[in-house]
Amino acid sequence: MFTRSELEIKTIAELRDLCRRYGIKPTGNAGYKVSYITSLMAFPAIALSQLEKGMGLRKLSFEAFQNLGSALDEMNSPTDEQAALIKLTMEGRHYKAPQRWEQEKLINLYKAKQKLEEVMSLLGD
C-alpha cells in the first residue's frame, strides 16, 4: 500500500501523523523513522492475515447468513398501496399526526429491508 520510498522522504512528524490517521502504533522506538515506516508498510498485510485467521472482523457463518435471509423473507414485500405510499413519502408528502407515525413506521421498515438486502448482497460476494 505504502512504498518504502514514499515513506522515507517524509519527516517523523508526517509519519507520526499517518500512523495516527490510521490508528497504527510505531514498531519500536518512536524517535526513529524506521519504527513508523515498518508499521505503515506492514499493517495492510497483517490486517488481511488476521482476517484469514478469523481474528477481529470475521465473515458470517452460513447459519447467520441464512438467518438474515429468513428475516428478509419474513419482512415480505410491500403491497401496491404500500409501495405507492412509500413513493409518496419519498417525495416529501406526509400525513398529519397520528397517521404520520404509522407512515414513518412503514418508511423505516422499507428502508431497513433495503439495507438488509444491501447487506446480503455485500456478504454474498
Q: Does 73 share its domain with 110?
A: yes
C-alpha cell at 21: 490517521
Q: Does 119 share its domain with 66?
A: yes
DSSP state letter for 108: H
Q: How far apart are the first and last CA of the chain?
A: 23
Where in the sequence is the domain holding 94, given as residue range(s)? 62-124
CA-based nearest residue to 75, from 34, 29, 100, 106: 106
Q: What are phi and psi of 86, to 5 degrees?
A: -60, -45
**pLDDT, tens only, 56-110:** 999 889 999 999 999 999 999 999 999 999 999 999 999 999 999 999 999 999 9
Q: Does 38 share its domain with 72?
A: no
Q: Does 66 share its domain with 107?
A: yes
Q: Does 38 share its domain with 67?
A: no
Q: Does 32 share its domain with 81?
A: no
Give the chain's domain count.
Answer: 2
**pLDDT, tens only, 26-38:** 999 999 999 999 9
